[in-house]
Amino acid sequence: MEGTPSLISAMDELGLTQAELAERINDFLRSRGYDGTVSDRTVRNWLTGKTHWPHPRQREALGAVFGCTAEELGFSPPSARRISTEPEPPVERRNFLSAATGTAVAIVAPVVDSRPSIVGTSDVISLRSGLDALMALDAARGGHEALERSALAGADEALDKVRQAASQRIRQRLYSVAANYLSTAAWAAIDGRQLDRAQARLDRALYLAGMAKDPVVELRVWNSYAMLAHQRDNFTDAVDAGYAAQATAIARRDPFYGSLTHARTAVAHATLGDRQGTIRSLGYAEEALGKATDDETRPSWVAFYGVAELTAMTAIARDRIGDSAEAEAASHKALSGIPKHFKRNRALATARLALTQVHQRDLDPACTSASEVFELMSGNPIPGRMRSLLGDFYRDLITLAPDASVAREWGDRYRSEWSRA
């Protein structure tokens, strides 16, 4: 046997050194009441193939760390053993055989049943897959209470598994998953304008992000804090949350995330009427996104961001500092690039387009654009954040043109639709 390439690949995937793997194996063994005697030399023997078949307890620990069997990691039992020994029966079968031969099941079963199942990498991956499904649902229909409840259940499941984690690293990854689920729940509440609930979810998510030592989810939380602060009309807090997001390690390291934080800060500056700060932040966002690469693996929650979304955020910021014509052009450009499956984002960008048009007193095009929002969200309730935006549109419409028949007709026709929850 010339080494164990599968084990090498598995270690590379988790970023483990020989000493770190030895530490995790020992953590597992101690959690089961055994001495942790695995050293980096032990691991080196596994990697070089000097040890073909680790001790049973070590094999169990390897399975907990990597979420797969020793054979899948490249180990193989001695050929003689494979021929002469029947594979170990499952727990239920062992208990049955013990009873049939007169062995006291009362001694065997309680020992097996009382040992908690060990949570490893495969469990973490399974939990994370649920996040992807929730984000796909959000992209299509927006935040709603059912999505929020599902996200909270995912967070609870991740936290329930922390005590059974095979190692500290697995515990940190579980905290990260829980923080992401709570961030998803908070986002659903923000989109539904349930602001107190959103605040509570974000506070808890930020704590768990710290426990996880995960800068990506930390950035995600600060990004949501900025949006929540804006909805609460705490515009200075929104700017400061944007700066906090910029200060995260991932924003400093990856220009893609850095771009998102600058774009969010630009919108906050614009809401405060800080024209210079707005334009400066938009420039930073565009420059950073131009440096970002597409070969990075990033979580599904940030899949919405790219050139089109930056352009949509530019439209918001430009409109708020009075550049409505530039904002309208940016809105059209954004809508040409936002993917079709991001229905909620396309609907929001369309509502923003309507605002830029009404601010230029182009009433007929504005009403047409606002009407398209309902077509895009057809079959789904209108999220609270979008209902509020359409309310802003109608308020500006009747303020700027109170006697225009098109304004009255739009309100009469769509008031019931934009109120639906």
**pLDDT tens track for 28-38:** 787 677 778 88
Indicate whether 124 and 75 sit together in one domain: no
Q: Residue 300: inside a domain, yes or no?
A: no
For the chain, the domain total comes to 2
- The pLDDT value recorded for residue 36 is 80
The amino acid that residue 330 corresponds to is A
pTM of the model: 0.71
Domain that holds residue 65: 1-82
Residue 257 pLDDT more than 50? yes
Are 124 and 197 part of one and the same domain? yes
Same domain, yes or no: 5 and 50: yes
Q: Is residue 8 part of a domain?
A: yes
Residue 372 lies in a domain: no
Is 173 part of a structural domain of the chain?
yes
Q: How confident is the model at residue 114 (pLDDT cuts 50, 70, 90)?
A: very low
174 in Cβ contact with 164 (< 8 Å): no
Residue-wise pLDDT for 193-231, tens only, equals 899 999 999 999 999 999 999 999 999 999 999 999 999
Q: Are 185 and 173 spatial neighbours (Cβ–Cβ below 8 Å)?
A: no
For residue 177, the model assigns a pLDDT of 95
141 in the same domain as 60: no
> What pLDDT, on a 0 to 100 scale, did the predictor assign at position 116?
55
Q: Please identify, among 213, 246, 268, the residue that sits at the C-terminal boundary of a domain.
A: 213
Cα(76)–Cα(146) distance, integer angstroms = 47
Establish if 71 belongs to a structural domain. yes
| 86: its two tokens | 């029947």
With respect to residue 157, please indicate whether it lies within any of the assigned structural domains: yes
The mean pLDDT value for 335-360 works out to 94
Query: What pLDDT is recorded for position 176?
Result: 95
C-alpha to C-alpha distance for 303 and 132, rounded to whole angstroms: 10
Domain boundary among 160, 182, 213: 213
CATH number of the domain enclosing 58:
1.10.260
Comparing CA positions, the residue from 357, 308, 359 lying closest to residue 337 is 308
Q: What is the predicted pLDDT for the residue at 103?
A: 34
- Give the whole-angstrom CA distance, residue 94 versus residue 113: 13
Out of 23, 55, 82, pick the residue that ends a domain. Answer: 82
Same domain, 11 and 65: yes
Closest CA to 289 of 269, 313, 310, 270: 310
Q: Distance between CA atoms of 283 and 348, rounded to whole angstroms?
A: 23
Averaged pLDDT for residues 116-124: 81
Residue 164 lies in a domain: yes
Average confidence (pLDDT) over 395-421 = 82
Rg (CA), the chain: 28
Confidence of residue 135 (pLDDT cuts 50, 70, 90): confident
Q: Is 28 among the domain residues?
A: yes
Roughly what angle, to the nearest 10 degrees, separates helices 215-231 and 235-246? 170
Range from 19-28, 188-197, 282-291 that averages highest in pLDDT = 282-291
